[in-house]
Structure 1
Amino acid sequence: MRSRYSAFVKQEYDYLIATHHPRYLNGLTANDLAHGAPQQWIGLQIIAAPTQQNNQGQVTFKAWYKTADSSKARFDAIFECSDFILENGFWFYTQGVQFDCPMPERNQHCICQSGKKYKKCCLATL
């Protein structure tokens, strides 16, 4: 999961396609990912410890990003429970279930994991 997040941050879309199980691609291409991905990733939070049973695994995460909608910047997240399959010693993403992601409260820890409160860190940059 962390390597796929890093690939999004670095815009290495070919890697994302290579680590996406071919049976689950449904025509998705690196070009599709390049046009639909947020451009400013903020941080990755692993919500539930990755689980593994036989050749299947799951991880629940929040991938925070900053976006500009119209004239106003805002934060959002991909909050997902992702499924993976282990084949020939490599993990491949298959599919995921996405959830609504509430924004942190002003006095909670910041989404960028700086250790500061949200209001004194990323929220102050909007």
Structure 2
Amino acid sequence: MAGCYCGSGVAYESCCGPIHEGRVKAETAEQLMRARYSAFGANQAEFLHQSLHPDHRHDHDVQATRRWAEDSQWLGLQIVNVQGGGESDEEGSVEFIATYKEQGMVRPHHEISRFLKHDGAWYFVDGQLVAPKTEKRDQPKVGRNEPCPCGSGKKYKKCCGA
């Protein structure tokens, strides 16, 4: 038994597998988020389509989703924040970072996904990408031909900048 793609520590056959097969429903928005991530690793593009809210399926490209799932190596899921989305809620959001490798490059996908309950089942509605934080330097940038700030007396490009 292999561990589930979602990182729960539970076997796939006992975690997201039954949700993908339609034997059980996701009880929370987070559980659906984890099942959707696992669907990429397990190449369950049809589940990704079926777990979309019915009002948002009209422009979903199942073949493009399948290609992305097949062409990527899914490395891990980190749940950052969950708001609402419990068993008794009607809506919720899950902030997550899904890490995958595509064309030799490791890429993080940081998103806040919105979920709604419709006829007793959770559905993915849409997602908003979270932009990386801008980092500001504490000190001015050192030019390549300036003296190295370490005090060696060498140019930066020949010292710490090498």
* Aligned-partner SS, 1:84: strand
Gaps of 5+ in 1: 103-126
Q: C-alpha offsets along residues 29-86 of structure 1, whole Å, 9 cap, x if unaligned? A: 3212112345200000000134238411100000000122xxxx22111110000011
Q: Distance in 2 between matches of 1:100 and 1:76?
A: 13
Are residues 1:48 and 2:76 paired?
Answer: no
Gaps of 5+ in 2: 1-32, 134-162
Q: Distance in 2 between matches of 1:78 and 1:30?
A: 19
Aligned residue in 1 for 2:48: 16
Percent sequence identity is: 30
- 1:26-105 counterparts in 2 under 5 A? 26-37=58-69, 38-52=71-85, 54-68=89-103, 73-101=104-132
Shift of 1:27: 1.9
**Aligned mate of 1:4, from 19, 36, 40:** 36
Q: Which has the larger radius of gyration?
A: 2
RMSD, aligned α-carbons: 1.9
Aligned residue in 1 for 2:57: 25
Number of residue pairs aligned between Structure 1 and Structure 2:
98
Shift of 1:26: 3.7
Q: Distance in 1 between matches of 2:108 and 2:115?
A: 20
